Amino acid sequence: MLYSGVDACTADPWNNLDNAGGGYHFNGEDILVYPGAQVGLTGVVVPSMRLKYLRDGVNDFDYIQMLKNQGQGAWAMGLVNTVVTDWATWSHDPALLESVRQQLSAKLD
């Protein structure tokens, strides 16, 4: 995973997320943290939802790898494939994703 920047904010990132880069415009791109002062947290940064989703994805990867190490890889991937089948096809159902995460976790316990 490579990010060229994590705080490439506009002057007002809480209200203007249009980050132009290389002639393209991607709202929120290169913003993983926001300055905290504007929301009353002086001297700190606030994590973005994008950063939190990246954290969750890394945790998912770790769960799957731990299950593979325990000989449960086929079971884990079968479960994962109920949520995502390839880079372009995945479920948009947050309840399904949470259910799979809970099942992976329970299997590790």
pLDDT in tens, 33-53: 888 888 899 889 899 888 999
Per-residue confidence (pLDDT) for residue 7, from 0 to 100:
73
Among candidate residues 60, 62, 105, the one with its CA nearest the CA of residue 83: 60
Give yes or no for a contact between 20 and 11, defined as CB atoms under 8 angstroms apart: no
- Domain chopping of the chain, boundaries: 1-47, 49-108
89: left (phi over 0), alpha (psi -120 to 50) or beta: beta
pTM passes above 0.85: no
Interval 15-30 mean pLDDT: 65
pLDDT tens, position by position, 42-98: 889 899 888 999 999 999 999 999 999 999 999 999 999 999 999 899 999 999 999
The DSSP code for 7 is B
Distance in angstroms (rounded) separating the CA atoms of residues 98 and 109: 17
Distance in angstroms (rounded) separating the CA atoms of residues 27 and 49: 13
